[in-house]
Amino acid sequence: MKPLLGHKFVIPSLIILAILIVGVTLLAPTDKVLGEATRMVYVHGAIIRVVLGTFLLSGSLGLIYLFSKKPALYDWSRIVQETSLLLWIPYLLSALISTLQTWGAIAWFEPRWLVTLQISVIAPVAFIVTLIVKNRSVTAALNAVVAATIFILTRNAGLVLHPIDPIGTSGNAGIIGAYVILLGLCALFAAQIARGLRFWQQAQLAKEMTKAQA
């Protein structure tokens, strides 16, 4: 069991999960109206839910750290934030592709697209600030602020073309089931990225300690 939980299994597990995500996406049933475009909608919906969850988790951990000052909370807040930023890249790609497939063009006036663009600026800028400042309290506070900002932006975003919940309201058990499986796989993918970053962080600390003792 230990080899499966160790750092050497992180990359192989990410490859396996990526293959499973692709496989489920290709085998999942399609909607009568959207047709093959349904497949990218699956991926798009699953990734954004996971990414929003990781952003909120990072912010929550950062907020708790500010009061408890427990190093582990800070470490995981930072790691989960980095995971969110890494996952934001495939989310943007899925959003772009699914939008072009379903709407035929980018609807820049769509509130959800505007929120996406705002987050694409706010989150990376906040992360860059943490790299420059290199202060745990500032990093934790910024992670909490980013999470709160994202929550407010997504909660208040209206809808023009974007449907409220195309998968959930489809009424198709096959479509809903495939989406739930994809959601779970994407969540596991995010968890493995976070674990990989944690292992990398520990390896860097070990190197620094070795240099300091030399």
Q: 7 lies in a domain?
A: no
Long-range contacts from 200-208, C-beta under 8 angstroms, 24+ separation: 201/75, 201/79, 203/7
Confidence (pTM): 0.87
Q: 210 lies in a domain?
A: no
Give the pair of three-digit tokens for residue 12: 């192989």
Q: 87 lies in a domain?
A: yes
pLDDT for the residue 1 = 43
164-195 pLDDT per residue, tens: 666 665 667 777 888 899 999 999 999 999 99
Q: What residues make up the domain containing 127? A: 13-200
Cα–Cα distances in angstroms (integers) from residue 47 to residues 87, 140, 182, 204, in the given order: 8, 24, 9, 29
Number of domains the chain is built from: 1
Q: 114 lies in a domain?
A: yes
Which residues face 35 on adjacent strands? 31
Q: 1 lies in a domain?
A: no
What phi, psi does 104 have (nearest 5°)? 85, -10
46-99 pLDDT per residue, tens: 999 999 999 999 999 999 999 999 999 999 999 999 999 999 999 998 888 877
4-56 pLDDT per residue, tens: 466 777 899 999 999 999 999 888 777 666 666 677 777 888 999 999 999 99
Q: 153 lies in a domain?
A: yes
Q: 205 lies in a domain?
A: no
Q: 160 lies in a domain?
A: yes
CA–chain centroid gap for 157, Å, is 19
**Residue 157 scores a pLDDT above 80:** no
